[in-house]
Amino acid sequence: MTGARRPIIGLSTYVETARWGAHNARAAILHMSYVDAVREAGGRAVLLPPDDLDAGVLELLDGLVITGGADVSPAYYGAEPHATTVSRADRDAGELALLHGAWERDIAVLGICRGMQLMAVAAGGALHQHLPELLGSERHRPGPFDRVVFGSHEVELAEGSRCRSVLGDRLTVNSLHHQAVADPGKLTATGWCVEDGLIEAVEDPARRFSVGVQWHPEESDHTIITALVQAAARR
């Protein structure tokens, strides 16, 4: 059976100790929800473990998704770590190399949760390190750190933005994060939590497709992931 080549979408991965079969070892892993969302959108997912030696793999990719996960090291935005901040040096270095390389090549990029925060930091911005201290609310991460419990709230999107053209002016999103973008740097904030004004989406209007969202579309509405795959197909 033949057909048009599906756009190849790179997905950054975690490195964690995992169990499967008789194995208990360090592994490059990622939730299948990311892979399923890319496949359902017409793309071909390729997993990218942390690697900071070069960004040459981008020559083989049509699009890039920086996925969720651990906190970005505050050293990248000149801050001391909060007591709750847990970063992964391998992911920071490897994903920053991919992100800057993708921007240089104008490859379609989507940052999800941590991925959006990394985009802001890479663009010269900064993060809020612990939202409960800032907002006095657990709206954005209602459960404990060792459990996956999503919050829910509304997001309003800016008129004229890429996000609004794809998602409409307002939507209800899931939420699982204790950090957030305080300063988007050279990126443009284009989405905000209706209840507290927290930045929920960023983008670079000068690039073909460079969008970050704070929520987890891979676990709910895949529309923004579909838009990423469609932009990648036009590379």
Q: Which residues are the active-site residues?
A: 113, 216, 218
Residue in the block written with tokens 């359902």: 40
Distance CA 31, CA 38 (A): 12
How far apart, in whole angstroms, are the C-alpha atoms of residue 45 and residue 41? 10
The residue with tokens 């970050």 is: 212
CA distances from 189 to 32, 63, 174 (A): 29, 22, 19
Amino acid at 50: P
DSSP three-state, residue 167: helix
Do strands 199-203 and 210-213 pair parallel, antiparallel, or not at all (unpaired)? antiparallel
Joined together, the tokens standing for residue 85 give: 């901040």
